[in-house]
Structure 1
Amino acid sequence: MVELGRDRLRELLDAVLADKGKGQYRSLDDMAGDVFVSPFHFSRMLSRGSHESPVAMRRRVLMERAARQLQRGSSVAEAAWAAGYDSVEGFSRAFARAFGHPPSRPAVRHWLPAPNGIHFHPPISLWVDSVERAADPLFEQLVRHDLDDTRALLEYATRITDTELRKVWLPATVVLQTDGVEETIGDVLTHLVQAKETWLASIEGHDTPSSAERPSVSELIERHDAVAASWLAMVRDLDARGAWGDRLIDALCDPPESFVMSSVIAHVVTFSAHRRQLVRHMLRASGHKIGPGDPIMWLRRRRHEATTGNELE
Structure 2
Amino acid sequence: MFRGSAAVASGLLSVHQLRGRGWIRLRHDVYADSRLPQDHALLCRASLARLPPDSVVLAGPSAAVAHGVHSAASPADPVHLIVVGDRRVGDQAGTRLHRIPLDPCDVSAVALAGGGTSVAVTVPARTAWDAAVWLALPDAVAVVDALLFQGVVTPASMREVVARLADRPGGRRAGHTLALADGHARSRAESVLRIRLFLAGLPMALAHPPIFAVRPPLAWPEFRLALWCAPDPAAERVMVSEGWLVVRTSPRRDFGEVVRELREALHARGWRTKRKQDVMESALTPNMR
Q: TM-score range by the shorter chain?
A: 0.3 to 0.5
Higher strand proportion:
2
Query: TM-score, length-normalised on structure 1?
Result: 0.33
Larger radius of gyration: 2
Query: TM-score, length-normalised on structure 2?
Result: 0.35
